[in-house]
Structure 1
Amino acid sequence: MATKRTALVLTAAFAVALAGCAKKKPPVLPPAPVDSGQTTDPNAGTAPTGDVGGAIVPGSQADFLRSVSSNTVLFGLDMFDIDAEARTILDTQAQWLARYPNVRITIEGHADERGTREYNLALGDRRANAAKNYLAARGISASRISTISYGKERPAALGSDEASYAQNRRAVTVTVN
């Protein structure tokens, strides 16, 4: 009798636990938006893209890429110091940013695939902050500059050779507006 009662209690407990794990019906989602090619705002999308009718909009990412010597600063192995080549690149970026004081930027720090995820995230952060500090020293307000580290998660070059590693040790400047 006790074994039947125990079996009944265990069966009931199992049924209750199983009912708690049952999948709930998902909420009804609205349909995906349909792109008709028309917008209600005639100026929507013009400033950030930089390309309007074949013309580059001043202050856009396209204008930035056209005006600076590069949007990418490269670093040596396990390094985050700003060398002479990086200074030249960042100086052109600072000049462009001085012309457009309302443009905000994000500096992305990257590392090659060697090292742990945590180490590469920290190294990418130091690289992005080194570029940010250099631009701030050149008169660009630090409040206009945000940084993010991707570590080894977004390589510019795929491969496990020194040429690929060299391209992946970088800080990339991207306009936010």
Structure 2
Amino acid sequence: MRARPVQIAVVAVVLAMSACKKAAPPPPAPVGPSAEEIARARQDSVSAANAARDRAAAAQAERDRAAQAERDRTTAAQRELSTALEAMIRFDYDESDLNAEAERLLRDKVDILRANGDVRIRVEGHADERGSTEYNLALASRRAEAVKQFFTGFGLDAGRFETVSYGEERALVNRSDEDAWAQNRRAEFVITGGGATLTSPR
């Protein structure tokens, strides 16, 4: 009966030793990145940041180009509209009636004036040097009034237009020949209000 406890003790010791032998080994200590890996990661980060900066700069440059192109288009359109409004018309000799070319140019002005209701115009009538000063002042006045009547005939408010006659006093070409006289028989147009920002006719 005494041998049994001894056997039990021996078995217990063996089992304990066996359990100790089967225990899992501790995990290996973590190994940090190498210097080469750290350098490569740093370079990748720098490259990514540079690429992002370049993309942002390119996008901003494209936006700037688009904005400048739009400003250029707007400026060109404004210049074109102003030029059309200010384009002078010619008259036949000793006439205040509008010829076909004058009516065509005035019709272009009507379209712009309709699209820009705040624009005000001064119509300046001129004559060539032939005839008396008084006659030429009256003739130039009739020419300016003919233009105003053309505008109001299309429904434009007469209050938007003023007329002035300069007769022969402000010659465009200071010569006494047919070409000079033809250029001096004219009406000029001055934008006196509302011309800072013009809208194109639809």
Instruction: Give the TM interval when normalised to the shorter protein.
Output: 0.5 to 0.7
Q: Does residue 128 of the first structure (1) align with residue 147 of the second (2)? A: no
**What are the within-5 Å matches in structure 2 for residues 1-177 of structure 1?**
56=75, 62=79, 64-66=81-83, 68=84, 71-177=87-193
Structure 2 counterpart of 1:5: none
Query: Contact between 1:71 and 1:174, CA under 8 Å: does it hold in 2?
Result: no
Query: Contact between 1:70 and 1:89, CA under 8 Å: does it hold in 2?
Result: no
| SS of aligned partner of 2:103 | helix
In 2, Cα distance between equivalents of 1:172 and 1:108: 5
TM-score, with structure 2 as normaliser:
0.56
Query: Contact between 1:111 and 1:169, CA under 8 Å: does it hold in 2?
Result: yes
Pair 95,150 (structure 1): closer, same or farther in 2 beyond 3 Å: same
Query: Contact between 1:121 and 1:152, CA under 8 Å: does it hold in 2?
Result: yes
Structure holding more strand per residue: 1
In 2, Cα distance between equivalents of 1:153 and 1:132: 21
| SS of aligned partner of 1:159 | coil
Decide which structure has the larger Cα Rg and report it. Answer: 2
Name the aligned partner's letter for residue 135 of structure 2: Y
Name the aligned partner's letter for residue 65 of structure 1: S
In 2, Cα distance between equivalents of 1:85 and 1:176: 24
Instruction: Name the count of aligned residue pairs.
Output: 123
Structure 2, unpaired ranges of 5+: 1-70, 194-202
After superposing on structure 2, the runs of 4+ consecutive aligned residues of structure 1 that deviate more than 6 Å are 52-55
Query: Contact between 2:96 and 2:146, CA under 8 Å: does it hold in 1?
Result: yes
| SS of aligned partner of 2:166 | strand
How far has the Cα of 1:63 moved from its partner?
A: 5.1
Query: Contact between 2:89 and 2:105, CA under 8 Å: does it hold in 1?
Result: yes
| SS of aligned partner of 1:94 | helix
How far has the Cα of 1:56 moved from its partner?
A: 3.5
How far has the Cα of 1:73 moved from its partner?
A: 1.1
In 2, Cα distance between equivalents of 1:130 and 1:76: 13
TM-score, with structure 1 as normaliser:
0.63
RMSD of equivalent CA atoms: 2.3
Name the aligned partner's letter for residue 97 of structure 2: D
Percent identity for Structure 1 against Structure 2: 40
